[in-house]
């Protein structure tokens, strides 16, 4: 959520900044509403002030004369009644204004950082660096072909259980998934993160707090009988963990790592990535999340990104770092670095982690503050996948494939997986 004061005082610069996202936002309309509200606010508070004084006077009058019904008192009460009707009229108008303003502002995305590259869509994202050797050989198998031949997962049977875009991991596939989760959690907790295992179902307020609602309700699964949704990312419960809190500044920065299943409807992606582990309605993810004071968030953004990178390096997976352009930024983010892993079968890099600095956007929506320099200040929040498990498995299968059809398990993972090769199991 953007600061109302900022919108009121700098509508043009807000409008210009938001337009870098490639859409037109009508800020002046919101500004007009907030100005109207301000006028009414002043009107109401003067009336309330007078009515309050009157009430006190009545109280004094009554205690002096010990008479609740004297003509003087009744006269004053009549006057008080007039105030009340007047005030409630104004309040009615204020309420509708407030609602409109709130709706409008909640639908505005975060302002893109001045450092983010300007562009319209993902083709304008900027590659910052690459790591490792993105090898290209002919006759490479896709990860779903490898998975099928080694019996690591079964998507056909999964449609019986649920529907398409769900997967059942089997045998060594399930074991590898588990190994990856444990490996990542261990790496990050050794690196100073506190592990959390949050609920997978979250309420509407939590989704609003991190920016998924009201705009993106069609991207999450909703429970029909309750005000609960299947969490699309651990970012949601982690933000909500501290909602409406004043955090002791001594605890900052707070660094959480959380494993969670993630559920996404993937509406509008029909026909894309229909095979394999890349795009599923349910997937596992290890998420990194920071709360820090505003002056430290740029530095924190670099750190959270390099913490996510360290996993790719340990697993020896070639990747590149991409600076997301203004037109491709997520709703809550002001700046995002994506980590994209090399998938040799499709000869391209695919997103495996997205590390975002949301500044105070989510903290304002969720009211998460700290007393910094004697002032209550909204904290900055940062999130980054560290990493998406299914896509990591896809990358391991494709990058580790050998000419004899076997797959080399990265050395760092062997202690977690318990072996350096897959046993081909029969189902």
Minimum distance between the CB of residue 301 and RNA, rounded to whole angstroms? 25
Closest to RNA by CB, 201 vs 298, is 201
Tokens coding 136: 């290209």
The residues in 76-115 that bind RNA, with binding defined as CB under 7 A, are: 76-77, 80-81, 83-84, 88, 95
Give CA–CA dist 296/248, Å, rounded: 16
Minimum distance between the CB of residue 51 and RNA, rounded to whole angstroms? 6
Which residue in 10, 19, 36, 48 binds RNA (CB under 7 A)? Answer: 48
Minimum distance between the CB of residue 417 and RNA, rounded to whole angstroms? 27
Minimum distance between the CB of residue 49 and RNA, rounded to whole angstroms? 4
Contact status: 224 vs RNA (CB under 7 A): no
Closest to RNA by CB, 160 vs 371, is 371
Instruction: With contacts defined by CB under 7 A, name the span among 54-62, 113-121, 214-222, 343-351 that binds RNA.
Output: 54-62
Give CA–CA dist 390/74, Å, rounded: 75
Minimum distance between the CB of residue 392 and RNA, rounded to whole angstroms? 29
Contact status: 58 vs RNA (CB under 7 A): yes
Give CA–CA dist 343/398, Å, rounded: 6
The residues in 375-414 that bind RNA, with binding defined as CB under 7 A, are: 376
Minimum distance between the CB of residue 231 and RNA, rounded to whole angstroms? 17
Closest CA to 165 of 31, 305, 277, 10: 277
Minimum distance between the CB of residue 272 and RNA, rounded to whole angstroms? 36
Minimum distance between the CB of residue 157 and RNA, rounded to whole angstroms? 25
Minimum distance between the CB of residue 216 and RNA, rounded to whole angstroms? 23
Closest to RNA by CB, 260 vs 345, is 260
Q: C-alpha angle with apex 128: 327 to 317, nearest 5 degrees?
A: 110
Closest to RNA by CB, 335 vs 380, is 380
The residues in 7-26 that bind RNA, with binding defined as CB under 7 A, are: 8
Which residue in 41, 43, 186, 351 binds RNA (CB under 7 A)? Answer: 41
Closest to RNA by CB, 362 vs 399, is 362
Closest to RNA by CB, 229 vs 416, is 229
Give CA–CA dist 148/140, Å, rounded: 14
Contact status: 5 vs RNA (CB under 7 A): yes
Contact status: 54 vs RNA (CB under 7 A): yes
Three state DSSP letters for the chain = CCCHHHHHHCHHHHHHHHHCCCCCCCHHHHHHHHHHHHHHHHHHHHHHHHHHHHHHHHHHHHHHHCCCCCHHHHHHHHHHHHHHHHHHHHHHHHHHHHHHHHHHHHCCCCCCCCCCCCCCCHHHCEEEEEECCCCCCCCCCCHHHHHHHCCCEECHHHHHHCCCCCCEECCHHHHHHHHHHHHHHHHHHHCCCEEECCCCEECHHHHHHHCCCCCCHHHCCECCCCCCEECCCCHHHHHHCCCCEEECHHHCCEEEEEEEEEECCCCCCCCCCCCCCCCCCEEEEEEEEEEECHHHHHHHHHHHHHHHHHHHHHCCCCEEEEECCHHHCCCCCCEEEEEEEEECCCCEEEEEEEEEECCCHHHHHHCEEEEECCEEEECEEEEEEEEEHHHHHHHHHHHCECCCCCECCCHHHHHHHCCCCCCCCCC
Closest to RNA by CB, 306 vs 367, is 367
Size of the site for RNA (CB under 7 A): 33
Minimum distance between the CB of residue 9 and RNA, rounded to whole angstroms? 8
Instruction: With contacts defined by CB under 7 A, name the span among 16-24, 270-278, 351-359, 369-377 that binds RNA.
Output: 369-377
Contact status: 129 vs RNA (CB under 7 A): no
Contact status: 38 vs RNA (CB under 7 A): yes
Name the phi and psi angles at 109, rounded to 5: -80, 175
Closest to RNA by CB, 33 vs 187, is 33
Minimum distance between the CB of residue 168 and RNA, rounded to whole angstroms? 21
Which parts of this chain interact with RNA (CB under 7 A)? 4-5, 8, 38, 41-42, 44-46, 48-49, 51-52, 54-56, 58-59, 62-63, 68, 76-77, 80-81, 83-84, 88, 95, 246, 369, 371, 376
């Amino acid at each position: 959520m953007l600061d109302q004061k900022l919108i009121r005082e700098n509508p043009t610069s807000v409008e210009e900044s938001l337009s870098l996202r490639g859409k037109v936002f009508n800020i002046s309309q919101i500004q007009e509403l907030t100005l109207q509200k301000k006028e009414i606010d002043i009107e109401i508070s003067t009336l309330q002030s007078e009515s309050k004084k009157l009430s006190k006077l009545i109280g004094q009058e009554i205690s002096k004369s010990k008479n609740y019904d004297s003509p003087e008192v009744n006269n004053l009460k009549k006057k008080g009644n007039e105030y009340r009707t007047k005030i409630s009229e104004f309040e009615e108008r204020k309420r509708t204004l407030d609602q409109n303003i709130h709706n409008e502002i909640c639908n505005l995305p975060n302002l893109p950082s001045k450092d983010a590259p300007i562009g319209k869509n993902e083709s304008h994202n900027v590659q910052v660096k690459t790591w490792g050797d993105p090898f290209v050989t002919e006759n490479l198998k896709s990860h779903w072909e490898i998975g099928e031949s080694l019996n690591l997962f079964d998507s056909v049977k999964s449609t019986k259980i649920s529907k398409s875009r769900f997967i059942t991991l089997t045998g060594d596939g399930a074991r590898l998934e588990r190994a990856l989760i444990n490996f990542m959690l261990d790496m990050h907790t050794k690196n100073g993160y506190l592990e959390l295992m949050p609920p997978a179902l979250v309420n509407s307020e939590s989704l609003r707090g991190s920016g998924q609602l009201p705009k993106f309700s069609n991207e999450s699964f909703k429970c029909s009988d309750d005000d609960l949704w299947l969490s699309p990312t651990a970012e949601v419960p982690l933000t909500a963990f501290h909602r409406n809190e004043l955090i002791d500044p001594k605890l900052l920065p707070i660094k959480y790592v959380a494993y969670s299943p993630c559920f996404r409807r993937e509406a509008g992606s029909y026909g894309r990535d229909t095979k394999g582990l890349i795009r599923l309605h349910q997937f596992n993810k290890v998420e990194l999340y920071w709360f820090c004071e505003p002056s430290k968030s740029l530095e924190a953004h670099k750190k959270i990104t390099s913490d996510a990178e360290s996993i790719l390096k340990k697993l020896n997976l070639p990747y590149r770092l991409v600076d997301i352009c203004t037109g491709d930024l997520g709703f809550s983010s002001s700046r995002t670095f994506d980590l994209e892993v090399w998938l040799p079968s499709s000869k391209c890099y695919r997103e495996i982690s997205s590390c975002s600095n949301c500044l105070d956007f989510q903290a304002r929506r969720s009211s998460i503050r700290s007393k910094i320099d004697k002032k209550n200040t909204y904290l900055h929040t940062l999130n980054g996948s560290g990493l998406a498990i299914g896509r990591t498995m896809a990358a391991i299968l494709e990058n580790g494939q050998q000419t004899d059809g076997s797959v080399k398990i990265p050395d760092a993972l062997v202690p977690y997986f318990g072996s350096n090769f897959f046993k081909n199991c029969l189902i």
